[in-house]
């Protein structure tokens, strides 16, 4: 029997009593889907999934994305984006090592940003019995709901631009700086001109209504939002910093401590997330599938 147990104050639930490797009837799927949208981030513990089974389960939610970073897709399974600090036998990175340095919502720079992502823990770094590489989630719907009415109305009139180009350049510069300071052991290669040109900047509303729950949330994030329109960069930076501090305050955050076999799914419209890089050189290997969402306005 499926049980859903709340694990965070404003977000997060553990769903137990389901084996995601098996075909699933429509009633069970409907129960999972409704718990997922309600809680915004859900974890299924102790799963044993092949890439094909992860793909089959997440495909029930919609069209799967093949990530723009082709070099980080899993061989034979384009729908799986590999996150890892591991190297293969030829010394080549097996996946993306820098995903999630900033608070972000997956693929939010696209005209049709991601609806949800599912991350499966294949290898989790553990030191002295404690799992490292936690992932943090912040509910931007809970953050929006907590704002005063006048502030909600002011933000509802605002627009922001998400830029894959600015994000990759900022991320790469930060990684180069880390390397200079001796922090990371595995290096990302520079974003290619082809990658930078492949996703145009997208302008969209700051306040976004969720297509399923109808909750409103702040669709801005530190990683991908380049600027708010209609003001100077300096004004935009100050306003964004204030809003990010509001969204990511502890009351709206759930921190996930990983175990091998966790399949964690999060709602990219309702929340944003951030990785922790505290484990190198211990190996970490995660497989992500990402479901496309509706177009932003
Ligand atoms: O590896 C993590 O903990 C989070 C990864 C992430 O941010 C992403 O997949 O977008």
Q: For residue 204, is pLDDT > 90?
A: yes
- 82 or 185, greater pLDDT: 82
Judge whether 281 lies within some domain: yes
Would the pLDDT of 188 be above 70?
Answer: no
Mean pLDDT of 140-154: 98
Going by pLDDT thresholds of 50, 70 and 90, the confidence category of residue 171 is confident
Listed range (16-20, 53-57, 97-101) with the worst mean pLDDT: 97-101
Whole-prediction pTM: 0.94
Position 261 pLDDT exceeds 80: yes
The tokens for 271 are 């929340």
> For atom 2 of ligand 1, which residue has the closest CA?
275
Task: Label residue 186 by pLDDT band (50, 70, 90).
Answer: low
Beta-strand ranges (E) seen in the chain are 3-6, 13-16, 41-44, 73-74, 77-84, 114-123, 126-127, 130-131, 135-139, 159-162, 202-205, 207-209, 216-218, 225-228, 253-256, 263-267, 271-275, 285-292
Mean pLDDT of 198-218: 96
Residue 192 in domain: yes
Is 297 within the bounds of a domain? Answer: no
Residue 114 has pLDDT above 90, yes or no: yes
Annotated catalytic residue within 98, 106, 262, 267: 106
Which atom of ligand 1 lies closest to the CA of 274? 7
Region 50-66: mean pLDDT is: 95
Stretch 201-207: mean pLDDT: 97
How far apart are the CA of 15 and the centre of ligand 1, in A? 20
* Partners of 7 in beta bridges: none
Which atom number of ligand 1 is nearest to the Cα of residue 135? 3
How far does residue 154's CA lie from ligand 1's centre (Å)? Answer: 31
pLDDT tens per residue, range 79-93: 999 999 999 999 888
* Cβ–Cβ under 8 Å, residues 266 and 43: no
The model's confidence at residue 141, banded by pLDDT at 50, 70 and 90, is very high
| 103 found inside a domain | yes
What is the CB < 6 Å shell around ligand 1? Answer: 83, 99-100, 106, 119, 133, 135, 273, 275, 286, 288
Ramachandran angles phi, psi of 277, nearest 5°: -110, 70
Residue 186 sits in which domain range? 3-292
Q: How many helices (H) and strands (E) does the chain have?
A: 7, 18
259 assigned to some structural domain = yes
Is position 288 annotated as part of the catalytic site?
yes
* 98, 286, 290, 291, best to mutate for ligand 1 pocket (most atoms within 8 Å of CB): 286
| pLDDT above 70: percentage of residues in the chain | 98
Question: Atom 4 of ligand 1 has which residue's CA nearest to it?
Answer: 275
Report the 10 Å Cβ neighbour count for 264.
23
How many Å lie between the centroid of ligand 1 and the Cα of residue 100?
5
Q: Could you tell me the CATH number of the domain that includes residue 34?
A: 3.60.130.10
Measured at the alpha carbon of residue 221, what is the angle toward residues 261 and 266, in degrees to the nearest 5? Answer: 25
Which of the residue ranges 23-32, 55-64, 173-182 would you say has the lowest mean pLDDT? Answer: 173-182
Residue 56 lies in a domain: yes
Tell me, yes or no, if 273 is annotated catalytic.
Answer: yes
Q: Can you read off the two tokens belonging to residue 61?
A: 């939610």
Domain count, the chain: 1
Confidence class of residue 97 from pLDDT cuts 50, 70 and 90? confident
């Amino acid at each position: 029997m499926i049980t859903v147990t709340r694990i965070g104050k404003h977000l997060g639930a553990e769903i137990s009593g389901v084996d995601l490797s098996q075909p699933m009837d429509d009633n069970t799927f409907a129960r999972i889907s409704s718990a997922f949208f309600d809680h915004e981030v859900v974890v299924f513990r102790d799963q044993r999934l092949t890439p094909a089974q992860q793909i089959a389960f997440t495909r029930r939610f919609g069209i799967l994305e093949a990530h723009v970073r082709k070099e980080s897709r899993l061989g034979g399974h384009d729908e799986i984006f590999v996150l890892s600090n591991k190297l293969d036998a030829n010394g080549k990175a097996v996946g993306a090592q820098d995903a999630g340095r900033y608070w972000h919502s997956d693929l939010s720079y696209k005209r049709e940003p991601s609806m949800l992502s599912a991350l499966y823990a294949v290898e989790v770094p553990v030191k002295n019995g404690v799992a490292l590489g936690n992932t943090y989630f912040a509910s931007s719907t809970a953050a929006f709901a907590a704002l005063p009415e006048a502030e909600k109305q002011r933000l509802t009139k605002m627009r922001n631009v998400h830029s894959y180009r600015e994000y990759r350049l900022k991320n790469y510069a930060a990684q180069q700086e880390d390397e200079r300071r001796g922090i990371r052991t595995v290096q990302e290669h520079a974003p290619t001109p082809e990658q930078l040109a492949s996703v145009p900047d997208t302008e969209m509303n700051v306040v976004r209504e969720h297509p399923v729950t109808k909750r409103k949330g702040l669709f801005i994030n530190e990683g991908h939002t380049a600027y708010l329109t209609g003001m100077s960069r300096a004004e935009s930076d100050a306003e964004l910093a204030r809003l990010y501090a509001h969204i990511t305050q502890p009351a709206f955050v759930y921190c996930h401590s990983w175990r091998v076999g966790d399949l964690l799914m999060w709602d990219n419209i309702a929340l944003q997330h951030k990785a922790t890089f505290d484990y190198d050189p211990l190996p970490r290997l995660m497989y992500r599938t990402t479901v496309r969402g509706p177009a932003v306005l």
